[in-house]
Amino acid sequence: MSSTAPTKRGRPGYDQQSVLLIAVDVFNKHGYDATSMGILAENLGISKSAIYHHVPSKGDLLKLALEHALGGLEAILDESEAKEGSAEARLEFVLRQTIKVLVDRLPFVTLLLRLRGNTEIERNAMERRRAFDHIVAELISSAQDEGSMRKDIDPRTVTRLLFGTINSIVEWYKPGGSLSPEKLADDVITMAFRGLQTKP
């Protein structure tokens, strides 16, 4: 899938992507449920009616934002490195790329992780995220079966702990700081894998 948010021309000064970026920041600040079209219009500096030149509804903004986050994650699983090689190598690739998507699309992934499931759009997104997590759990189980990871921890527990660590990045990581995305991924992988591998 595309690595950039979809773009659609609208009123002068804004296109759909720029409206979406501001909307996602407002959703993350106030919460999706608490954000009205009036609040969005105020943050955009345009009228509520002008927003409808870009998107039909607030729900459509949410759907576009979540697709941007989920599309990036799901595309990882289509890469050859996620399908070929040892389970351990595939798992490391998926986790590294997950961190990359999180950093590259930080506001969008933050929104995804804060969903409450109050709308059908949110519930569908959460189901897609659970499907992604399930595939990672299967990779962990396969790594345990091939002997590259310890077997005394349930794969689902490992998955929850790994993603608990990775997902926490949205709360503290500042892009452009001294910690690069690559070093961040190295640190997470080293911390996680050294505690899971059976070899010294």
CB of 91 within 8 A of CB of 146?
no
Q: Which helix (H) or strand (E) holds 187?
A: helix 181-194
Whether domain 67-194 has CATH 1.10.357.10: yes
Domain ranges of the chain: 67-194
Which pTM was predicted?
0.86
What is the average pLDDT across 23-45?
93
Task: Evaluate if residue 9 carries a pLDDT over 50.
Answer: no
Cα angle at 141 between 140 and 146, to 5 degrees? 95
pLDDT (tens digit, 9 = 90+) per residue, 72-103?
Answer: 999 999 999 999 999 999 999 999 999 999 99
> In sequence order, what are the residues at sequence separation of 6 or more whose Cβ sits closer than 8 angstroms to the Cβ of residue 20?
5, 6, 55, 61, 64, 65, 68
Between the two ends of the chain, the Cα-to-Cα distance in Å is 39
Q: What is the mean pLDDT of residues 64-74?
A: 97
